[in-house]
Amino acid sequence: MDLRLTGKRAIVTGGSRGIGFAVAAALTAEGADAAVVARDADALRAAAERLAGSGRRVLAVPADTADDASVRTAVEVVVAEFGGVDVLVNAAATPAGSVGGAASAATTGDDVMREQFETKVLGYLRCARAVAPHMVAAGWGRIISISGLNARSSSSLVGSVRNVSVAAMTAALAAELGPSGVNATVVHPGLTVTERTPAMVAERAERDGVDEAEAVARFGRSTTIGRMVTAEEVADVVAFLASPRSVAINGDAVAVGGGQPGVIHY
């Protein structure tokens, strides 16, 4: 299937590693130009060099999504270089396992919650707010926000609140921007294989007193496909949502965690 992404211009935040980098790679492979955005300039340059083999235009744009001026400057740089922006993928956020895990309400400090709203919820909103006028003016656009399956679970207070907030924000953006040809969707990954996975597996193996192969198998049992989904497999879904072919999906959440056992969503 031709996703009709050739010539589209994308911004991917959190694009230097993990799911963000996989998304940028998928989009450039489909013919889009991509600007990868993150705080670490060195990591961004390395990511851009890896993406350069696609033959598409690739930009490394350092920016902090927790700062509105930084976000607006980054978008201006991309628009000046690419001539516009058609796709935004919000992926700049701290992984779920690094933001308090199963901490209770009694032990979750205000500062932790504020930080997560600044970086994930407000960070995503800042980026959407900066690109929306360009998309509306062009009469077409896609905004995809990477959230997480904690939105459908009460196992993590911080993770649940921030991810539900991203989903609610996405629905509001879809209602506002949809009539102008701009679709907004949210993607919920679960445990995903990235460069962080070896350390996560080693930690679980030590905690459970098992070898690493068994630790991997235990992670896999949390899905209905029997294994963790890879960042590249998440990116495949995001690439479709970024394409003109996804027009029938707007304001909704798409789970990409390999299936949650025993759960029905309708």
Dist. CA 126–CA 195, nearest whole Å: 27
Closest residue by Cα to residue 121 from 168, 57, 86: 168
Quick: pLDDT tens for 184-196: 999 999 999 998 8
- Over residues 129-164, the pLDDT tens digits come to 999 999 999 999 999 999 999 999 887 888 899 999
Cα–Cα distance for residue pair 157/105, rounded to 1 Å: 7
Segment 113-142 shows an average pLDDT of 95
Q: pLDDT grade, residue 60 (50/70/90)?
A: very high
Q: Say which residues have a Cβ less than 8 Å from residue 198's Cβ, sequence separation at least 6.
A: none
The model's pTM = 0.95
Q: Is residue 99's pLDDT more than 60?
A: no
Distance CA 144, CA 154 (A): 24
